[in-house]
Amino acid sequence: MTSVILIDWLEAILRWSAPLIICSIGEVYAERSGIINMGIEGIMLCGALCGVAVCYYANSQVAALLACLVLGAVLGLVVAFLTVSRRTNQVVTGLMVNMLATGGTEIVFSMMAATRHNRATTFSPLFPEAMQQIPFIGKIVFAQPWSTWVAFILPFIAGFILYKTRWGLNVRAIGDNPQAAETAGISVIKVKYQTVILSGIFACLAGGVLTLASSGYFAAGGMVNGRGFIVMAAVVVGGWDPIKTMLVCVLFGAADAAQLRLQTIGSAIPNQFLQMLPYVITIIALTIMVKRSRVPKTWGAAYDGRKD
């Protein structure tokens, strides 16, 4: 009995972490270039609805993901225009995007009655069903939808790009010293646009994965339920490194999965406290870890070009 619960929990950890990890990739790039995209919570919510809706009506997962990609890019572009070109306050901008997304998805969802009762087809596992029969790890690893596998490979690619490519070097330079990057002949504004648009794309895709890799339906405003904010914390705790951030995402995913399971097996602790678990862990992790990591020097600050 306990091993069934354990297997179920470990399987859920991987599945729950996947959207967090995907979302964190873009946010790491944006914050490394100095822009905090706080709108990822809302963009993720849009992605969750977009994925389900397109998948259901077009009956195509490819179309759903493409739609998420385009929607994410557009929303990222909006955030980039505001925070990079108009130099608006990044916190206020993010809050605004999140509120718009909550209201916007609510309206759109209410017009799509059909998706309420019918599930969209969810992602299939990457490996043949026979492999799920392998004791213990079969259920945990090989039952995972392909999106989970992608999520756990992405941080390594993202790390390579950040540390080993010219573009990654530009991103790191811009977040720490945009004036230096500008004098070295890099277009600071262009790179910031690129990273913020990427953060939009990844957040939107993460939303799509959130719904299409598990339930297959959208559940109104509470769908994303602070995952975007958890990702923001994970990026800070992970020291703006894609792989470390992935590990933190897994930790948060574990807490989330644990509280759900503890609720169902009837723990003596009240539900409300269990639900707080992931957030409590986030706060504890932030307090312990933040001092140790090196913050991008212009983190959250507007860049106005020629100032010395």
Partner 1 sequence: MDNKAYALKMQGITKRFPGTLANDHITIECEHGKVLGLLGENGAGKTTLMNILYGLFRPDEGQIFIDGEEVEIQSPSDAINHGIGMVHQHFKLVDTLTVIENVVLGLPTMKQVLDLAPAKEKLLKLCHEYELFVDPDAEVWRLPVGQQQWVEILKALYRDCKVLVLDEPTAVLTPSESNNLCRAISKITAQGKSVIFISHKLREVMEITDNVTVLRDGKVIGTIATKDATQLKLAEMMVGRAVEIERRPRAKVPADSEPVLVMKDVNVYDERGVHALKNFNLTVHAGEIVGVAGIDGNGQRELAECISGLIKPQSGTIEIKGKPVTGVISDPSFLGFIPEDRHKTGLVLDFTVAENLIIKEYMKAPFAKKGILQYKEIGSHANEMIDKFHVKTSSKDVAVKTLSGGNQQKVVIARELNPEPILDIASQPTRGLDLGAVMGVHDVLMQERERGAAVLFISAELQEVMALSDRIIVLYSGENMGDLDGDTADQAVIGQMMLGKRI
**184: contact with partner 1 by CB under 8 A:** yes
C-alpha–C-alpha distance, residues 231 and 238, integer Å: 10
Q: Is 161 exposed, middle or buried (0-12, 13-18, 19+ CB in 10 A)?
A: middle
Rg (Cα) of the chain, in Å, rounded?
A: 20
The one among 91, 180, 220, 288 contacting partner 1 by CB under 8 A = 180
**Residue of 282, 80, 96 lying closest to 200 (CA atoms):** 80
Smallest gap from Cβ 171 to partner 1, in A, equals 11
The one among 60, 88, 132, 177 contacting partner 1 by CB under 8 A = 177
**182: contact with partner 1 by CB under 8 A:** yes
**181: contact with partner 1 by CB under 8 A:** yes
Residue 293, φ and ψ in degrees, nearest 5: -95, 160
Whole-angstrom CA distances from 122 to 58, 104, 211, 297 are 14, 24, 8, 42
Residue 304, φ and ψ in degrees, nearest 5: -115, 50
Q: Which is nearer to partner 1, 179 or 275 (CB)?
A: 179
> What residues contact residue 59 under an 8 Å CB cut-off, 6+ apart?
121
The one among 60, 122, 132, 179 contacting partner 1 by CB under 8 A = 179
C-alpha–C-alpha distance, residues 182 and 217, integer Å: 46
Residue 271: count of CB within 10 angstroms of its CB: 11
**304: contact with partner 1 by CB under 8 A:** no
Q: Spell out, one character per residue from 45 to 84, where the chain touches partner 1: x when CB under 8 A holds, - when not.
A: ----------------------------------------
Q: Which is nearer to partner 1, 147 or 170 (CB)?
A: 170
Smallest gap from Cβ 175 to partner 1, in A, equals 9
**185: contact with partner 1 by CB under 8 A:** yes
Smallest gap from Cβ 176 to partner 1, in A, equals 5
Both ends of the chain: CA-CA distance in Å?
65
Question: Considering only 3-11, 46-54, 169-177, 215-223, which stretch makes contact with partner 1 by CB under 8 A?
Answer: 169-177
**241: contact with partner 1 by CB under 8 A:** no
Residue type, 200: G
Question: Considering only 112-120, 170-178, 249-257, 283-291, which stretch makes contact with partner 1 by CB under 8 A?
Answer: 170-178
Whole-angstrom CA distances from 137 to 18, 126, 133, 194, 225 are 18, 14, 9, 39, 29
**173: contact with partner 1 by CB under 8 A:** yes
**308: contact with partner 1 by CB under 8 A:** yes
**291: contact with partner 1 by CB under 8 A:** no
**255: contact with partner 1 by CB under 8 A:** no
Would you state the structure tokens that stand for residue 200, as one six-digit string? 């939009």
Place of tokens 């939808």: 145
Sites of contact with partner 1 (CB under 8 A): 164-167, 169-170, 172-173, 176-177, 179-186, 294, 297, 306, 308
